[in-house]
């Protein structure tokens, strides 16, 4: 039964229907829903529900960069001059392309709203890919450049992956809980390996690494501002794109294609400088 003469509005994804009871006759009139740039902050720590505009912005801001990321990854692998360079480039490229691909796929499924179980899996995968991406971003630096043999930073070659696995396990166990603590974990795993890079004798590319890291950290502000700043998550995506581009440039320029005289390539290292934990050095 309709509630007397009071109009009832049923809201859909693209608009709404206004149903009015007039003397026993039901009149249905389509109404145009205004564009909403932001929804309210959810109560009781519930997950934020983006508006249609935000959904599209989230899909586009990473979706546009899936193919460029794959292309860049392939080009980096092809430019590699040795097995160890190729390994580092492959790990880095998989992380880069995987980040944009999983993020885009998740936001598409989230927008469609039909596949609840798939959305849950992709949401967890999207968060897990952040840890994987951080580890893959540092791998070329830790693998292709010598580290001091007497420094704790030497252990970050495997330690970065241990941290990534622990972060993923934490995220899976406490998904959508303790969100601020999860963000702190992202920052820790993102900043800690940079100490190893700064401990290296060769500092070429360090400025780009710092700049990209600073952009990531600034972007985290928007990552936590859903419901407070319009399109906050899409803005976070753009920070990620910019920082990833800067880091890609640094890896390609200073590690895969190092400038003349740089120690980034193990072929140019003397035996005193060479780190035996690098396969090419061990066989030199």
Chain-centre distance of CA 224, in angstroms?
Answer: 14
Of 213, 221, 222, whose CA–CA distance to 242 is shortest? 213
Annotated binding-site members: 107, 233, 237
Within 10 Å of residue 47's Cβ, how many Cβ atoms? 11
Chain-centre distance of CA 128, in angstroms?
Answer: 9
Annotated binding-site members for Zn(2+): 107, 233, 237
Q: What is the C-alpha separation between 196 and 214, in angstroms, rounded?
A: 17
Output the 3-class SS for 92-135. HHHHHHHHHHHHHHHHHHHHHCCCHHHHHHHHHHHHHHHHHHHH
């Amino acid at each position: 039964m309709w509630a007397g003469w009071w109009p009832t509005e049923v809201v859909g994804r693209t608009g709404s229907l206004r149903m009015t009871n007039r003397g026993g006759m039901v009149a249905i009139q389509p109404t145009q829903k205004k564009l909403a740039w932001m929804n309210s902050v959810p109560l009781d720590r519930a997950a934020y529900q983006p508006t249609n505009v935000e959904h599209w912005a989230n899909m586009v801001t990473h979706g546009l960069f899936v193919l460029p990321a794959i292309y860049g990854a392939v080009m980096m692998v092809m430019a590699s001059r040795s097995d160890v360079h190729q390994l580092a480039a492959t790990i880095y490229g998989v992380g880069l392309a995987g980040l944009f691909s999983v993020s885009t796929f998740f936001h598409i499924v989230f927008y469609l709203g039909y596949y609840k179980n798939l959305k849950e899996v992709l949401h967890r995968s999207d968060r897990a890919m952040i840890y994987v991406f951080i580890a893959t971003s540092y791998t070329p630096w830790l693998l292709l450049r010598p580290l001091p043999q007497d420094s704790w930073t030497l252990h970050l070659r495997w330690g970065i992956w241990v941290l990534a696995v622990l972060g993923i396990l934490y995220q899976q166990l406490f998904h959508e809980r303790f969100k601020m603590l999860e963000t702190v974990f992202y920052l820790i795993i993102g900043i800690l390996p940079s100490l190893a890079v700064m401990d290296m004798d060769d500092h070429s590319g360090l400025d780009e690494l710092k700049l990209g890291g600073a952009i990531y950290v600034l972007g985290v502000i928007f990552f936590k501002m859903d419901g407070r700043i319009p399109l906050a998550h899409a803005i976070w995506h753009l920070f990620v794109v910019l920082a990833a581009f800067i880091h890609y440039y640094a890896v390609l320029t200073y590690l895969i294609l190092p400038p003349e005289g740089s120690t980034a390539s193990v072929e140019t290292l003397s035996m005193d400088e060479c780190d035996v934990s690098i396969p090419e050095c061990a066989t030199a």
